[in-house]
Chains A and B, each alone.
Chain A
Amino acid sequence: MTAPVVEVSGLVVRYGTATALDRVALTVGAGEPVALIGPNGAGKTSLVNAVMGVLRPVAGRARVRGRAALVPEGRQMFDDLTVEDNLALGAWRRRRERGARDTARVYEVLPRLAALRDRRAGSLSGGEQQMVAFGRALMADPDVLVVDELSLGLAPLVTADLAEHLRALNTGRGLAILLIEQNARLALDLCTRGYVLEAGRIRAEGTAAELAAGSAVADAYLGGAASPEREEGA
């Protein structure tokens, strides 16, 4: 078995006296799509920031083998720059590599972005911006894509379209995915394994089927009768 691309162990994050994450542990294997489900304030974004190295934990560690790239919550565009520039800056960590800033390969994967390349990112719709955020993350040539709230603020059809792109990236290119979501149905449909984070602690973990069938997850996130529906939809 190869070593996981993301390995979080004993992770503790505090803001002053408030504990955001308490001894959190999770792994994402190479090419594996993993979901992290949790409500608002569970500590999901703190975990994302620790994995991305933006935030230093009080204890424990978040280790990434290879390169992680983030599709951040709320898209987080460089509003004043064009789509092309947003994508090019995604390659900042690889800026010394020859051809790192070539955006052509992102346009191959996400062809709709090619038509938007000269538009200001701030002028795009939410769905288009999420697509740019995907492309910007792909420019880092990552081993694992960390997606923070794929569906937040987007129409269901747009979310479904983006989810298909995400699935294709995982199955077609073998890209590992850590999908952080409030929408448990979407997350468990896309991923093979998952974790449930509540109040800074991992409350449950298992395969997507196990989590969907578990009463705690079903009651809290899937309206109590999600498992059969999910299986029908899958």
Chain B
Amino acid sequence: MSAFVQYLVSGIAVGCGFALLASGLVAIHRVTRVVNFAQGMFAVVGGMTAGSLLSSGLPHGAAEAAAVLVAGAVGLAVGFAATGKRGTSPQSALIVTLGLGFLAYAVEIMIWGDNPRSHPGLGGSVVLFGAHVQKQSFLVIGVAAAVFALLGLFFGRTYTGKALTACASNPYAARAVGIDVVRMGLLAFALGGMLGGLGGVLLTPLQPISYNGDVLLITNGFAAAILGGLDRPGVALAGALTLGVAESMVAGYGAASYQTVVALVLMLTIMMVRASRRTALQEEAAR
């Protein structure tokens, strides 16, 4: 029982990290239709920057907040490179984000080296149903819950949030009422950068991160986001939590090396089912 609780809570925490990453993917895709393959890089930049700032003596809180802002700035830069030129197709932008993700490897190795790095989070553990659960796990869950609530308020209550939703819903009508869709896309990239960065900042104390750790993160984030067709943040959150818990159980009761396979199998299955459904619908429509 105690092991199960431990795996469950740590799985939910890791799932929350994936959810932050996935929500960044969804925010960017909804507004720009671009699948941002640099999303995992934002998490690496966030996690690594937080570690460096803490090492340089910046206190907790300020270091993490600054790292999230740095990741947001990187997101904005990626968005500008990928979508800043009007008329760039989402497919071309996707390739740009993929290229920038690889380019980032070189920059990250130059700055932080090629060894996995971590930084201290919230130390200690609490006993829950006989299981020792790291306090950092509860911090991740709490912060992610607060961020999702804030995102809900932002998109549901603010004029800018509604304008972002309008761009996602109908870009032509958005342009017709005067909304600058390209600028809104850049805002979505900055938001995606901050969400990815926050995921990295929160997860790094639980799982050391290296320059190429983005592959694992983007695989899980994408698997969660694709559940909702990259457009539904609520479904992405549910998908991320399911993935986090499933991987934690696989690692706990089976072997840690299989945990990524869970995400890959889930992602491939969803994509195959969606593709076959689409083909069936297209055949139906063609009749």
- Most-contacted residue by chain B among A54, A79, A89 (CB, 10 A): A89
Q: Are A92 and B178 in contact (CB under 8 A)?
A: yes
* Residues in chain B near residue A93, CB distance under 8 A: 177-178
Instruction: Flag whether A128 is at the interface (Cβ < 8 A).
Output: no
* Residues in chain A near residue B176, CB distance under 8 A: 52, 54, 70, 72, 76
Q: Are B179 and A89 in contact (CB under 8 A)?
A: yes
30 A-B Cβ contacts within 8 A? A52-B176, A54-B172, A54-B175, A54-B176, A70-B176, A72-B173, A72-B176, A76-B170, A76-B173, A77-B169, A77-B170, A78-B165, A78-B169, A81-B165, A81-B166, A81-B169, A85-B162, A88-B162, A89-B159, A89-B166, A89-B177, A89-B179, A90-B177, A92-B163, A92-B177, A92-B178, A92-B179, A93-B177, A93-B178, A136-B177
Q: Are B165 and A80 in contact (CB under 8 A)?
A: yes
CA distance A89 to B172 in the complex (A): 13
Instruction: Flag whether A95 is at the interface (Cβ < 8 A).
Output: yes
Q: Are B173 and A77 in contact (CB under 8 A)?
A: yes
Output the least CB separation between B249 and chain A (Å).
35
- Most-contacted residue by chain A among B163, B174, B178, B179 (CB, 10 A): B178
CA distance A140 to B170 in the complex (A): 18
Q: Provide the main secondary structure of the chain B interface.
A: helix
- With an 8 Å Cβ cutoff, the count of chain B residues facing the other chain is 16
Q: Provide the main secondary structure of the chain A interface.
A: loop
- With an 8 Å Cβ cutoff, the count of chain A residues facing the other chain is 21
**CB within 8 Å of A: which of B167-201?**
168-170, 172-179
CA distance A95 to B172 in the complex (A): 19
CA distance A56 to B168 in the complex (A): 23
Output the least CB separation between B125 and chain A (Å).
43
CA distance A54 to B175 in the complex (A): 7
**CB within 8 Å of B: which of A87-130?**
88-90, 92-93, 95, 101
Output the least CB separation between A68 and chain B (Å).
10
A52-B176, A76-B173, A92-B179 given. 11 additional CB < 8 A pairs? Answer: A72-B172, A72-B173, A77-B170, A77-B173, A78-B165, A78-B169, A78-B173, A85-B162, A88-B159, A136-B177, A140-B178
Output the least CB separation between A62 and chain B (Å).
15
